[in-house]
Amino acid sequence: MTSLRQRMIEDLKLRNRSPRTIQSYIAHVANFARHFGKSPELLGVEEIRQYQVYLVEQRKISWSTFNQAVCALRFFYRHTLGQDYSVEHIPFPRQPKRLPVVLSQTEVQRLLAAVRVYKLRVLLMTTYAAGLRLSEVIHLKPTDIDSQRMVIRVRQGKGQKDRYVMLSAKLLAELRHYWHLERPAVWLFPGKNREQPINVSVVQRVCHRAGREAGLTKPVNMRCLRHSFATHLLEAGTNIRIIQTLRGHSSVRTTQVYTSVSAQTVRATVSPFDALASLNNTDA
């Protein structure tokens, strides 16, 4: 490991960035250096611009991945190299605003029924029932399930914050049955190596496959279950501030996107067309 890489890792740790963020940022800066075949401290504003063009026009990466690369480079130049001048010339792109994909409750039921492995079905149930991120659900421990208070403790979610979410009575029954079958010890949903949590890619593949086998036409992934959780709560009349807390959002503005995808909210709005006087049908 180079001293520069080690210094960036230390800078990230000092700012309490998650292990996943550290791994991602280091990889982005390494890819940037590899593209030019030089140490990144020898590269400047013009190389950063060229690299951004390369990512967009040749690699054609997603905007979320592009933004992550930009964040990594901005962090590296500002905090590790102390070059604020370079940071000012690393623009953030304007991301297209897309509404989240939301499943109906019937579609959620079909998706869960299509998961054949019981452990994985319970994992998806937990994700939907508590509105968890994938990284949060795979890092649950048996001790995080508090059946006395009927809550689930989410440790170090996004932003390195702990929070509690509700524990559904129906989910608790499934978790108890699952525990008697699997006897998980360290992790609630362990991988092949029971000392490690289940692999993220394994869960995503299972979710994609279940969506296809359930005959769902929407693009289904684990994030889709989390979006559905929030939308279904909103449609059931849950206060948006409570949804914000359960989702672990820092700002209610992030949560408000679900008012745009709630079918109940949309249907409850009367179209101005209904206020028009009836038109005579002139067609024979």
* pTM, full prediction: 0.67
pLDDT of residue 62: 82
Return the closest-CA partner of residue 28 out of 80, 58, 68. Answer: 68
Residue span(s) of the chain under CATH 1.10.150.130 come to 3-88
Tell which CATH architecture fits domain 3-88.
Orthogonal Bundle (1.10)
How far apart (Å, rounded) are the C-alpha atoms in residues 266 and 185?
45
Burial class (CB in 10 A: 0-12, 13-18, 19+), 188: buried
* Ranges of residues in the chain whose predicted pLDDT is under 50: 266, 273, 284
Residue span(s) of the chain under CATH 1.10.443.10 come to 105-266
pLDDT of residue 196: 93
CATH number of this structure's domain 105-266, picked from the four choices 3.90.1010.10, 3.40.190.10, 3.30.1330.10, 1.10.443.10:
1.10.443.10
State the DSSP code for 149: T
pLDDT of residue 273: 42
How far apart (Å, rounded) are the C-alpha atoms in residues 61 and 54?
10
pLDDT of residue 238: 75
